[in-house]
Amino acid sequence: MLELIGYSFSPFVRKVMVTLEYKGLDYKHDPLNPFTEKERLLPLNPKGAVPVLIIDGKPMPESSDICHWLDEQYPLPSIYLSNKDDIQTRVEATEQWADSELASVFGGGMFFQRIIKPLFLNQACDDERVQSCMNEKGPAILEKLESSVPEAGYMYDDFSMADLAVSGWLRLGMLSGCDISTSRYPKLVNYLKQVYALPVYASILLKENQLDLIKQAKNTYATHFEIIE
Ligand SMILES: N[C@@H](CCC(=O)N[C@@H](CS)C(=O)NCC(=O)O)C(=O)O
């Protein structure tokens, strides 16, 4: 029996959710908000962060640990492309890069500032940090991705954690008003459209788009709607 704890718009949580669905696994979902429901979360994860996967009553935190565990228990299809060592290493390196650098810029510097802080923490947005992420740090990463993503298909042999991690953080950027449009990044936008269109990913995003918070973010900031329907 599997239960996923954490709201789905966190890219850390979404990595686990897409992995569960990609593997066709049954699970329950508790969309716990880690900022407003800390007292419920701390007994499951003393670090106070989501995701947590409850496996037969035992909590497992940390998105990468959870997804590696899922890949070991339910090997096909593999989200880390673990049948080829050299490719698995590259997938893991890209995931790590996304969950640190992209998380800091598109998560911490954009979505956390513009959406989470005012709505859940009653704190003011750090406009200076937002501007430096929107105008310098973000575009530097986006240009790097524009020159490295494939013309067609996924980053490595097949859909993998690399695509999942990168696309998750970029979605938060777009929801916060970051310009990721075809006119600036044609290859990247085309690549993202393909990743978001993967059926299990698309159905999760469709549900997520019904959430008030996401609607509010879209109406306030996301003027570049090409890939956020
Ligand atoms: N390394 C952790 C990071 C998890 C994480 O930072 N989750 C955020 C959600 S986006 C969270 O729960 N934040 C709550 C807080 O910092 O109080 C993982 O990969 O699971």
- Report the alpha-carbon distance of residue 132 to residue 26 in Å, rounded: 42
- Report the alpha-carbon distance of residue 50 to residue 219 in Å, rounded: 26
Instruction: For residue 171, give the nearest of 226, 113, 91, 92 by alpha carbon.
Output: 226
Count the Cβ atoms, other than its own, within 10 Å of residue 13: 26
DSSP secondary structure code for residue 5 in this structure:
E
For residue 189, how far is its CA from the centre of ligand 1 (angstroms)? 27
- Ligand 1 pocket test, candidate residues 5, 63, 123, most atoms within 8 A of CB: 63
- What is the model's pLDDT at position 229? 57
User: What strands lie across the sheet with 2-5, from one edge to the other?
Assistant: 28-30, 2-5, 52-55, 58-61
- Using the atom order of ligand 1, give the atom closest to the CA of residue 61: 20
For residue 13, how far is its CA from the centre of ligand 1 (angstroms)? 8
- 50 CB under 6 A from ligand 1? yes
- Report the alpha-carbon distance of residue 130 to residue 216 in Å, rounded: 18
- What is the model's pLDDT at position 85? 79
C-alpha distances in Å from residue 168, one per residue of 103, 148, 163: 9, 17, 8
pLDDT in tens, the chain (229 residues): 999 999 999 999 999 999 999 999 999 999 999 999 999 999 999 999 999 999 999 999 999 999 999 999 999 999 999 988 799 999 999 999 999 999 999 999 999 999 999 999 999 999 999 999 999 999 999 999 999 999 999 999 899 999 999 999 999 999 999 999 999 999 999 999 999 999 999 999 999 999 999 999 998 998 766 666 5
- 8 CB under 6 A from ligand 1? no
Every domain range in the chain assigned CATH 3.40.30.10: 2-73
- Ligand 1 pocket test, candidate residues 4, 5, 10, most atoms within 8 A of CB: 10
CB 159 within 8 A of CB 200: no
CATH number of 85-227: 1.20.1050.10
- Using the atom order of ligand 1, give the atom closest to the CA of residue 103: 10
For residue 152, how far is its CA from the centre of ligand 1 (angstroms)? 32
CATH superfamily, domain at 2-73: Glutaredoxin (3.40.30.10)
Cα of 3 vs its chain's centroid, Å: 19
- Report the alpha-carbon distance of residue 197 to residue 159 in Å, rounded: 11
Angle between helices 11-22 and 63-73 (to 10 degrees): 10
- Using the atom order of ligand 1, give the atom closest to the CA of residue 15: 19
- 168 CB under 6 A from ligand 1? no
Strand 2-5 to 28-30 pairing: parallel
Residue 197 is encoded by which pair of tokens?
């269109």
- 34 CB under 6 A from ligand 1? yes
- What is the model's pLDDT at position 122? 94
The values of phi and psi at residue 193, to 5°, are -60, -40
CB 5 within 8 A of CB 47: no
Cis peptide bond upstream of 34, omega within 30: no
- Using the atom order of ligand 1, give the atom closest to the CA of residue 64: 19
Every domain range in the chain assigned CATH 1.20.1050.10: 85-227
CB 22 within 8 A of CB 79: yes
DSSP secondary structure code for residue 145 in this structure:
H
- Report the alpha-carbon distance of residue 183 to residue 54 in Å, rounded: 43
- 10 CB under 6 A from ligand 1? yes
Angle between helices 85-97 and 63-73 (to 10 degrees): 160
- 165 CB under 6 A from ligand 1? no
DSSP secondary structure code for residue 226 in this structure:
G
Nearest CA, atom 11, ligand 1: 49
